[in-house]
Amino acid sequence: MTIDLEALYIDLHRHPELSFQETRTAGVIAQHLTDLGIEFEEGIGRTGIAAVIRNGDGPVVWLRADTDALPVPEQTGLAYASTARGVDPAGTEVPVMHACGHDMHITAMLGALEQLQAARETWSGTIVAVFQPAEEYGAGAQAMIADGVLERFPAPDVVLGQHLTPLPAGQIGVRPGTQMAASDGLTVTLHGRGGHGSRPHSTIDPVVMAAATVMRLQTVVSREVDPRDVAVVTVGSIHAGLKNNIIPAEAKLELSLRYPDDEARARVLEKVERVVRAEATASGAEEEPTIVVDHTLPPTINDHEATARLVAAFTRAYGDGAVVDPGMFTGSEDVSWFAREAGVPLVYWFWGGVDPQRYADAVAAGTVERDIPTNHSPFFAPVLHPTIERGVENLVIAAREFLA
């Protein structure tokens, strides 16, 4: 069997599913694994899959691809653009799109497994392919670990993974050490006292409190973090009120915080909490704000020795200049939980999906930030070729480098 990878990608892109809801996606993966004759188990960490190719003595290499999509309305104009709808954890119907490239991750993984399965006489060892749900919630890796994936399958000697990014197609970005930031997702509830919109003096207005808090939070990074350090404080959502003439009793803020290490995390969290509580006090709140940490992701740290090996392997395969150091990304990932829990090296790299001429034109014009859509954008649309082929090749080269 030869998988039609373009058709697979288009199908996955047309049918995205939210985190922990990837049932159709898991079914598509399972069918291809069955056709390839690769053993696997479904339902790990709710909607995850782990597949195994056992091929004699040798190292155990784990390859990981994430599978979930985002609540984003697609605006790419592609013939195969998603029109899917889903229901988020709050029970709200939302548009759904593969705006982060996880459909491409799945496609590359299945293509690589087909090649590795067909060429077993050229390598030995064991490959474990992890199709992980709910990366966008930062919860899927830990869900699979809690479900025993590290005990139920051969333990890794190395964990490898890749992510699509707005680099030119054919280019790889990877660096030793911290590749992606640590992060926390916070929900802050500001408690006021509701009342009639015509009598604000008889209320404690949480909307005004929220507005003041959002503005003050912008000073955490701009005025309290050393400019040489990396930190991000983003308020991604505000929810308060139902009608224009009712002052509500509470307002909720959802925050995304990013930092390179645990020390910076402790400093930023302390400053954020101080601002939130101080603004509530300044507003005369009679109840302390509620601050809940929804998820915590560690920094994605690439092992130095393993990364050097992989960079050398990619350079041999693709030539000088194909691999660049993209710097530390302030985005965050949960892939490193597998390597951390197993106590083994991790290498996590990026591969490009932008038409090289389009990217070069944007660089020349100084308009990369405006003209090249990033992950999570409703316009995120990788070119199919050579993005698919390079994604497959990357995983095959990486797996072979660490297998016997």
Would the pLDDT of 18 be above 90?
yes
**Is a pLDDT exceeding 80 seen at residue 300?**
yes
Percentage of the chain lying above the pLDDT 90 cut: 98
Domains in the chain, start-ordered, CATH in brackets? 5-180+299-402 (3.40.630.10), 182-296 (3.30.70.360)
What pLDDT is recorded for position 226? 93
pLDDT beyond 90 at 90: no
Q: CB-hemisphere CA count at 13 Å for 147? A: 19
Q: How confident is the model at residue 262 (pLDDT cuts 50, 70, 90)?
A: confident
Report the alpha-carbon distance of residue 207 to residue 279 in Å, rounded: 12
In tens, the pLDDT along 166-176 reads 999 999 999 99
Tell me the average pLDDT across 230-245. Answer: 96
For the segment 238-247, the average pLDDT, to the nearest whole number, is 97
pLDDT at residue 145 tops 80: yes
Q: Per-residue pLDDT tens for 149-159?
A: 999 999 999 99
Indicate if the pLDDT at residue 317 is higher than 70: yes
Decide if pLDDT at 9 tops 90.
Answer: yes
Q: What is the pLDDT of residue 345?
A: 98
The pLDDT, as a whole number, for residue 1 is 65
d(CA 352, CA 363): 15
Per-residue pLDDT tens digits for 26-54: 999 999 999 999 999 999 999 999 999 99
